[in-house]
Amino acid sequence: MPLHFINREVLLPTLIVAVMLSIAVALLSRGQRCSRVTLVWIATCVFLMLFYTVIGRTPKDGLDVHLMPFWSVGAIRDGYVETLYEKCYNVLFFIPLGGLCGFFFKERTVLFSMISGVATSVIIELLQLITRTGTCETDDVICNALGCLMGVLIALGMLGLYKWIKKRR
């Protein structure tokens, strides 16, 4: 099956940040240094997100706003497959940020990671509205929050596995 639905603008930063996340995992045993490195990766991740959603886009004429939550469910049900792909990209796009925040915040992982992810998503949507470089949607914030949560859960799983393996040695 051809992968015609993979958008390189979303895939590239996701892969780059996934590599950064792997590096953060490798540095876990180095304590304080790991926190600083993870913070740099978070900043890089947020910059890449801003670049691909706001900075690197050309402004459009007129406002494009969808404030009705879950409007995309009806569009997907009506056969707009592109909308489904777009929502999946939104989820995937925020998994690395959630994972990195999960490593950075450690004990307060879920709450602070979700606040960070939702705040980043809202800022991106507002910037898209102000600069007219994209569609400002509540569905994007919902999908981004879901991706961030998935990233946090992956990070927690990796941290738990790391501690379990270290304990068994």
Q: What is the pLDDT of residues 33-77, one digit of tens each?
A: 667 777 888 888 888 888 888 888 888 887 788 788 888 888 888
Q: How far apart are CA 74 and CA 71, in angstroms?
A: 6
pTM over 0.75: yes
Q: What is the pLDDT of residues 67-122, one digit of tens each?
A: 888 888 888 889 888 888 889 888 988 988 888 888 777 667 788 888 888 999 99
Q: CA-CA-CA-CA torsion for 116, 127, 17, 33, nearest 10 degrees?
A: -50
Q: How far apart are CA 166 and CA 124, in angstroms?
A: 39
